[in-house]
Structure 1
Amino acid sequence: MCRFFFNCLPSSFCMPSMSEEVIYTDLKFQDSSKTENAQEFGKSGIKVYINFNMQMEKLDKLQSFKEELQSNLSLQLIQNMNSSVKIKNLSNMLQEMATKLCYQLYTKKIEHNCKPCPRKWLWHEDSCYLLRREYKTWKMSEKECQALNASLLKIKKKSVLDFINSHGMNYIWLGLSPTENPINNKYFDETIISSDWLINTTSDISDKMYCGYKYNDYLYYTSCVETRYYFVCEKLANPVKIENTLSD
Structure 2
Amino acid sequence: MNWDAFFAVHSGLYREGPGTARDVEWACAQACVAPDAAICDAACGPGADISALRAAAPQGHVTAFDKHLGFVAEAAIRHRRDDAVTVTQGVLLGPDDLPDPVDLGPFDLIWCAGAIYITGVEPALKRWRGALKPGGAVAFSAPVNLAEPTSEMHAFWEQEVDTEDSLDAAIHAAGFGTVASSRVPSEGWEAYYAGVEARCDDLSRCEAPAIRQAVAENRREAEKWRALRDKLGYALRVVRPS
Higher helix residue share? 1
Report the TM-score when normalising by structure 1. Answer: 0.23
Higher strand residue share? 2
Larger radius of gyration: 1
Report the TM-score when normalising by structure 2. Answer: 0.23
